[in-house]
Amino acid sequence: MAPARDKRAAWRVISASVPGADHVRNDEESQDAAAWRVRSDLLIAAVADGAGSARLGGTGARIAVRAAVESLRSARMADLRRRVDRCLRAAHAAALEAIRQEAHRLEAEPKELATTLSAIVAAPGQVASLQIGDGAVVVACRNGDLELMSAPQSGEFINETSFLTGDASIDSAALRVFECGAAHVAAMTDGLLRLAIRLSDGAPHAPFFAPLFRYVSHPGTDPDGDRLAEFLRADRVRERTGDDLTLLLAALTE
């Protein structure tokens, strides 16, 4: 008889990004981006929304998520568990430096690659996030409670978004470490906020998340995110927003 294998917690992840209605009409790509890695029982993830007003916003978003995830992936495991706040700030610095280097290579200003950024480290008993801009990270605890990690951030003026390339963005970033028996995590760009977050009190909208969290929990579901992308393209979603849409879903399983 073969020896029994230890059951260890692991994350099942699905993500998709689709262009908004305006970009579809102009035959343009989405300016959103997402990246993730699973390391032991840790989920490392990032989502970003390139500024529509920035000439290279989509490039900035793609660079930011890759650099943030790589920074977290290469961090010491002990630090990710005990000093996750420092690791998230280091990921912010790595993403900003990667954008500055790309701007230099392209002979552009960093603000031309302006982007939001949400970076996440999730473990079975703790979820931590650093957010710059108007995205959202939602955690579902094992007891069924939903928690919004931080409210979408605005800039100095109404309807102005904070960006990674803005002045002193690390000082304005929302960093939170939430202790909970995590069961699911969702990260999204602002195109989904009107569907996912209640305007009345800023709380996660449970009827939006419940079927999505059941979906990602099922073994073998949608490994390439194709069906999730179909959901994001559906009329019932499109009619609520014209923005690019990115959604990353994760379920903690054995």
Q: What is the spatial distance between Cα 28 and Cα 234, in angstroms, rounded to a whole number?
A: 18
CATH 3.40.50.720 describes domain 10-253: no
User: What pLDDT score does 6 carry?
Assistant: 42
| Overall average pLDDT of the 95-120 stretch | 97
Is the whole-model pTM more than 0.85?
Answer: yes
Q: What is the spatial distance between Cα 99 and Cα 207, in angstroms, rounded to a whole number?
A: 37
At residue 4, does pLDDT exceed 60?
A: no
Domain boundaries, the chain: 10-253
Beta partners for 115?
Answer: 50
Confidence of residue 154 (pLDDT cuts 50, 70, 90): low
Beta partners for 141?
Answer: 182
Cβ count near 160 (within 10 Å): 12
Confidence of residue 21 (pLDDT cuts 50, 70, 90): confident
Tokens of 133: 């801009």
What are the pLDDT digits (tens) for 50-87?
Answer: 998 899 999 999 999 999 999 999 999 999 999 999 99
Contact (CB, 8 A) for 69 and 46: yes
- Show Cβ contacts of residue 236 under 8 Å, excluding neighbours closer than 6 positions: none
User: E strands within 58-188?
Assistant: 117-123, 126-132, 136-141, 146-148, 174-179, 182-188
Positive or negative, the CA dihedral 189, 214, 35, 43 is positive
Confidence of residue 7 (pLDDT cuts 50, 70, 90): low
Q: What is the spatial distance between Cα 45 and Cα 244, in angstroms, rounded to a whole number?
A: 19
